[in-house]
Amino acid sequence: MDHSVNFHDGEVILVDKPLKITSFGAVNRIKRVFIQQTKKKRYKIGHAGTLDPLASGLLIMCSGKKTKTISSFQNLPKEYTATIKLGATTPSYDLETEIDNTFDISDITKEDILKCAESFIGEQDQLPPIFSAKKIDGKRAYDLARAGEEVKVKPNKITIHEMEILEIKLPEIKVRISCSKGTYIRSIAYDFGVKLKNGAHLTELRRTKIGEYNVNDAHTIEEVQQWIFDSEFAPIV
């Protein structure tokens, strides 16, 4: 990251988002440095696809005029690696909430798991988690769920291009998933348990690709901040 920041035309920035920070929070940490360096009261910057606080990995940010291209990144297919834990469910389908049901997994075989993964391939309707950012009558579903209100979400049409089992160490399995935009990996984890006539939830998630963009080419928030501090800003013309 040794080139000057093009303040006028903007930048596409690949960030490796860490755990326990929201995507909005990651954007704000970088935005503050842009504002500081440019001496402007405002500076446009946004991201092209939310990652949950409990997920890490590739977050594409666009600044300046490049914010107009955000939708083109949002439409690209995504790839994730995930850890799914069998034998228990949570209301949020991940570790945000406590376990609400447990199941016996002693009869589940490797063949069952491989067949289950294969059954996900293709276009399908997916029900988002009630603990999601989906809007219901103008309110976020997770706000309603956390308040104890009844939440009814509508299914999304998604496509699972690939689902590869990377490792089986029961009760956990590690998977690689290539999918269309709008796919909730938490829902895949929950549905995996349902298809096995059992229960499951997501314990780890990392986004590795968005289209041809790879997390291996991304930078930490601190590296991006330092890049901005060290850069000469191209003038506005």
Domain count, the chain: 2
- What DSSP state is assigned to residue 216? G
Q: Which range of residues forms the domain containing residue 44?
A: 12-75+213-230
Q: What is the CATH number of the domain that holds 120?
A: 3.30.2350.10
Is the predicted pLDDT of residue 131 greater than 70, yes or no? Answer: no
- Decide if 4 is inside a domain: no
pLDDT of residue 150: 65
Report strand pairing: 122-126 vs 200-210.
unpaired
Residue 82 sits in the same domain as residue 65 = no
Given pLDDT bands bounded at 50, 70 and 90, which one contains residue 77? very high
Answer whether residue 30 is part of any domain: yes
**Domain check: are 118 and 71 in the same one?**
no
- Mean pLDDT of the region 194-200: 97
Helix axis angle, 185-195 relative to 110-118, nearest 10°? 130
- In this structure, is residue 154 part of a structural domain? yes
Place of tokens 């009261």: 41
Stated pTM of the model: 0.89
**232: DSSP letter:** P
Is 9 annotated in the active site? no
Q: What is the mean pLDDT of residues 212-232?
A: 91
Same domain, 226 and 193: no
By the 8 A CB rule, do 236 and 38 touch? no
3-state secondary structure of 173: strand
pLDDT grade for 235, boundaries at 50, 70 and 90: very low
Which carries the bigger pLDDT value, residue 156 or residue 83?
83
By the 8 A CB rule, do 153 and 134 touch? Answer: yes
235 in a structural domain: no
CA 18 from chain centre, in angstroms, equals 11
Is 5 within the bounds of a domain?
no
DSSP tag of 181: T
- Co-location of 70 and 131 in the same domain: no
Check pLDDT > 80 for residue 134: no
Q: Kindly state the average pLDDT of the residues 74-92.
A: 96
Share the mean pLDDT of the chain.
89
Of 46, 54, 53, residue with least CA distance to 28: 46
**How big is the CA angle at 68 (ends 222 and 32), to the nearest 5 degrees?**
30
d(CA 31, CA 13): 12
Residues 174 and 87 in one domain: yes
Once rounded to an integer, what is the mean pLDDT over residues 88-98?
Answer: 93
Confidence of residue 237 (pLDDT cuts 50, 70, 90): very low
> Do 83 and 187 sit in the same domain of this protein?
yes
Token pair of 228, please? 């901005």
Catalytic residue among 16, 52, 94, 191: 52
Based on the fold, state whether residues 202 and 220 are members of the same structural domain.
Answer: no
Provide the residue type at 223 as one letter: E
- Quick: pLDDT tens for 9-49: 788 999 999 999 999 999 999 999 888 887 777 788 999 98
